[in-house]
Structure 1
Amino acid sequence: MYEVTLEDKEHAIIGVKWESHLTPEAIHQANEEIDELLKKHEFTRFHLIVNMRDVVVFKPETQKEIVAHQEWLMRKGMDQAAVVVKSNVARLQLKRTAKEASHDTETHFTEKDEALDFLKQKNIG
């Protein structure tokens, strides 16, 4: 349903992979895993790469929780988010979600390598 990884320690990039059947409970679990990585590596600022290539659309209750998740990430020190997304419906949902979360540091990509390269070039502010 989801996976949290440390993608690049040097550039403080954390990865999250969401799948179509994502639940609000899984988002809470992912937050706990992200929090553990932040503490373990002593990141006060970080970038996030989100892999959503397999997601077409989220259920309304999951969409609402994604807004809270984005707000939480910003409070935790997220600098930039690079989202790998294939579905146009998912892309539109993401734009609406980012707007609701007052999150304006999200960039969309179709390939993970592009997204990682983008984040590696960004200095953590």
Structure 2
Amino acid sequence: MNLEGTGIVSMVTLMLFMLFALVFMQIEDADLAREAATLPDVRVIGKITESEPVNDNTVRLRLDDGTTVTLETRDSIPAGVTAVLRRTGETSRDQKDWLCLKALSTTNTKCYRLPGDLF
């Protein structure tokens, strides 16, 4: 095999490794979101009064106290649901904040990972 072929094989191997890492991170986030949906509330943030798409992957939510939260999601989030803060992770180093949306008429709870330290 010549040097050109070795470079291509190395690049393909690197790309496959990155793809597997991305898939693993997506699976881990989905597992954490399911865990967050069953955890107790840390605090109630407020009711969603308005949901406005920013682009294909982002939604801006306005809460009843006037604050806004931006989430990376393609989901359509209706007004009137309650937003609560939940946390996964036992130590502060492992802790992740989640914005969970609960409708009063159902026990269905959907959680979204919050970026950084908002709360």
From the CA coordinates, give the structure whose radius of gyration is larger: 2
TM-score by length of 2: 0.23
Higher RCO structure, 1 or 2 (CA under 8 Å, sep 6+): 1
Q: 1 or 2, which has the higher helix percentage?
A: 1
Write 1 or 2 for the structure with the bigger share of strand. 2
